[in-house]
Amino acid sequence: PPAPQRVLFPPTFSVSEIKNKQRRHFMFLRWKQQQRKEKLAAKKKRRKEREALGDKAPPKAIPKTIENQRVYDETTVNPNDEEVAFDEATDEFAPYFNRQTVPKILITTSDRPRGRTVRFCEQLATVIPNSHVYYRRGLALKRIIPQCIARDFTDLIVINEDRKIPNGLVLSHLPDGPTAHFRMSSVRLRKEIKRKGKEPTEHVPEVILNNFTTRLGHSVGRMFASLFPHDPQFIGRQVATFHNQRDYIFFRFHRYIFKSEKKVGIQELGPRFTLKLRSLQKGTFDSKFGEYEWIHKRREMDTSRRKFHL
């Protein structure tokens, strides 16, 4: 039955009091329509007023987003900060950024990896150039590390697995560099990605690091950058992206093509996963005696919804 224009109700009536479900549903829809109409009318009126005022109209209100409302972090890096620049020139990644070392990565897992983890490791090895996958076979990390250093590896990635899915990542820069421990979630292998392209080729990809603003974020970003060789091969048209949003780092691997100078198309190939930083340790992997630069403490750091650390 079509909605009548004027509806008379007793003043203390509310839609939720009708017992009959069908009728209640119908009345609710009608109420919703009415609300929508009123809202539209209000919007139109406001727009007219704004146009009428012309230049004198008050500026448009910016909607509040979490990124807008983010609590200001005092460790945010100013791009022109000299102290930060000096620090970065002398920290553990300086040899990489001065192009003295070529990254060589060792990827391994925890004990007894299941199929999914193994396949993920292989795909990760195709994404990161100059990387090798080795099985763990029950070796202690503390004993692997000196061997790796002896064989000139610059980085070590350990993918931790739980119940047949990878759920943690330990990234350690080898000649006693910082160790970052991440929680890994929503891992998608290549075959699970829709509309993907062919396999990643052997070209060195470009690296995009987005939104790493604070000091901590900066150091983590440099860690990621040091995984890839410094000179990307633009012929390959591949790009690896680490995008930080609200403390979640999203990793994607795309192939791009420029259709014109204002339009680019990207096609996803390669695995994707998200990381959340759990702890950053100064030396190489040592859970007991290491010196932690940053640990995620849930009780203290998760209190505010607008505060992010990376």
Partner 1 sequence: SPQVVWSMLGNRQFCSYKMTTKTQNFCRNEYNLTGLCNRSSCPLANSQYATVREEKGRCYLYMKTIERAAFPRRLWERVLLNKNYEKALEQIDENLIYWPRFIRHKCKQRFTKITQYLIRIRKLTLKRQRKLVPLRRKIERRERRREEKALVAAQLDNAIEKELLERLKQDTYGDIYNFPIHAFDKALQQQGAESESESDAEREEEDDEDVDKREFVEAEDSDLSDFEDMDKLDTSSEEEQEEEEEVEKEVSHSKSKGKTPLKGPARRKRPYIEIEYEEETEPTTKTKAA
- Binding residues (CB under 8 A) for partner 1: these are 65-67, 111, 138, 140, 185-186, 195-198, 206, 208, 210, 234-235, 239, 241, 243, 245-248, 250, 252, 254-267, 274, 276, 298
Q: How far is the CB of 187 from partner 1 (least distance, A)?
A: 12
Contacts of residue 165, Cβ cutoff 8 Å, sequence gap at least 6: 114, 116, 117, 187
Q: Specify the residue, 67 or 192, whose C-beta has the smaller distance to partner 1.
A: 67
136: closest CA among 165, 168, 115, 112?
Answer: 112
> Nearest approach, Cβ of 109 to partner 1 (angstroms)?
13
3-state secondary structure of 308: coil
Residue 137 beta carbon to partner 1: minimum distance, rounded to whole angstroms: 12
3-state secondary structure of 209: strand
Nearest to 269 by CA among 286, 284, 285, 257: 257
The β-bridge partners of 157 are: 107, 171
Q: Tell me the pairing of strands 105-109 and 155-162.
A: parallel
CB of 252 to partner 1, least distance (A): 6
Shortest distance, position 6 Cβ to partner 1, whole Å:
42
Cα–Cα distance, 110 to 136 (Å, whole number): 6
**Least CB distance from residue 185 to partner 1, whole Å?**
6
Give the burial string for 200-220 (b: 16+ CB within 10 Å, else e): beeebbbbebebbbbbbbbbb
Which residue is it, tokens 């990376």? Answer: 310
Is-contact 281 290, C-beta < 8 A? yes
Name the residue nearer to partner 1 (CB basis): 67 or 202. Answer: 67
Say if strands 238-245 and 248-260 run parallel, antiparallel, or are unpaired: antiparallel
Cβ distance to partner 1 smaller for residue 57 or 295 = 295
For residue 125, the tally of other CB atoms under 10 A from its CB is 17
Residue with smaller CB distance to partner 1, 104 or 296? 296
From the CB of 215, what's the least distance to partner 1, in Å? Answer: 21
